[in-house]
Chain A
Amino acid sequence: MQNAKDTFYTTLQSRLAVLNPARTIVVRGVTRTATLVEENELPSAVVPLNAFCLQWTGLRVNREEPMPMATLECSIQYATDGTTGNGGMDRGRLLAGMDAELASALGAEPQTVEKMNYSPAGTGVAATAMGTNIFWADPVFNAATTVGERLQRTATVQVLAYQEAGEL
């Protein structure tokens, strides 16, 4: 299942980067695309702003098929305070922009991509293609909530993948 999670993350990250290359975030001193997986980062109580933060929540496994099918629920949180230059009064516009970017990235064809194994990947070592594709359903955008001057939303998307022989 980790391969499915990694593949979905890298796919979403690259699509979002194409849609808005200017959306970046500094993590541990490194500027990178503003899409991250919470469980892959240092634990922190700080909510990253103007970034997409993925959390892997639900999991179901259907073993009735020749290959078990895993359905993983991915919650994508994003928040904004607006810009200081505008006194935060543009936070609705910024959140709408993030809504549109996420909807476009997840809705773009194809909504399926070859599953990759990133375990052996590293410097000079490429990820290897596996035998099946991962795919995902349409996202569900939950109601935006306001915390102080902060506007935030969580979208959930079901990511599906087959467990190949020998895959953990």
Chain B
Amino acid sequence: MSTTTTEAGVVAAVAPVSRRVRAYFAPVNRSTGVPTLFDAAQQGRFDLHAPPAPWIDLGWISGFARNSATKVDALRSGAPAMTVGQARTEVEATVSLEFETWGRLQGTLASGSQQTNLLATESGATLNGSGGVAAAPIPLLFATTTTATTLNVGAAATAFSVGSLVAVDVDYTGQLGYVGAGVSAAYVQSASAINSDVNYVRRVTLNVGVVTAIANGILTLSRPLISGVPTATMQVSQLVGFCDREGASFFQEWSALFVMQGVQGDRVLIHYPRLQAMQASSEKKEELSFPLEKIRPAGVFRALPVKDANDSENVLCFRSYLPAALRDV
């Protein structure tokens, strides 16, 4: 077989030109402290609209800014003292951004802490800031189709309508520590702190969806649940929205990937394996045309370290650059 190829010329390398930044989310296993790693060498050229599993598209973002607070001090010697070397004495990095949408994930990440689902309440429930006592959950039927996008609730389907929001997760039965299917959504310190609420996990879970069709007792969701196919112990609660609180104790943590697609086919990828929220919920307003304002959820995050398997360095962030084809390097 011939291995002859036609010689091709290269063109000069230029600085990337990008329109905007796209963000992607992947969960951190909070119990083990293991993040989701993105390998730019293997996955870097993915379709921006279809990220590799388990990465989830958060959409375009605005105001993306990386801030390094890493300190490099001079090492001095002699008299008079002269700098003979340098040392990193502190490594610190933060990221700030604004999401373009108020989805469940975006809202959670920008909330600074745990964001709760406003579960539909039982009749006569006492008023409460993050929602009163929730209505009884609806069990899933596994005898027939229940998948990540279809929930079989049988005759209880009459309680739902197209457009209903649902949370799907296990009952609270005394678990301590991180809870939430797919993504650690909150930390339970004691059963008494949450009143042993059977709906607590569904109250905080990110395993939520929108019902787009109902037929034969099956609820069809607009997209797959974040944890995939529900387990046999999960139930369904309806919700009306989401709520976060200033002063809540939980620190949300996620693996983050930011992509700047260059117009020449080059790509800048910025990967923070561990980002923790470092400010309470806030919004950025953009005046569209007085008095109309667009309100974006804004977040600021502090990067936490991971060890690079190649050289055991503790690092906060990986920035990768993939040149366009036939560019000088």
Contacts and interface: CB of A to CB of B under 8 A. Distances in A.
Contacts of A111: 19, 263
A135 B265 CA distance: 11
A67 B12 contact: yes
B14 A65 contact: yes
Interface size class of B (residues with CB under 8 A): 10 to 19
Interface residues of A, number: 14
A164 B15 CA distance: 15
Interface in B85-127: none
A3 to B, nearest CB: 13
B263 A112 contact: yes
B129 interface: no
Contacts, number: 31
A133 B265 contact: yes
B11 A112 contact: no
Contacts of A132: 11, 264
A22 B10 CA distance: 42
- Of A69, A132, A133, A160, which is in contact with the most chain B CB atoms at under 10 Å from its CB? A132
Given A111-B19, A112-B263, A112-B264, A131 B14 contact: no
A69 B17 CA distance: 11
Interface of A: 65-67, 69, 111-112, 131-133, 135, 160, 162, 164-165
23 contacts: A65-B14, A65-B15, A66-B12, A66-B14, A67-B11, A67-B12, A69-B14, A111-B19, A111-B263, A112-B263, A112-B264, A131-B9, A131-B10, A131-B326, A132-B264, A133-B263, A133-B264, A133-B265, A160-B263, A162-B11, A162-B14, A164-B11, A165-B12
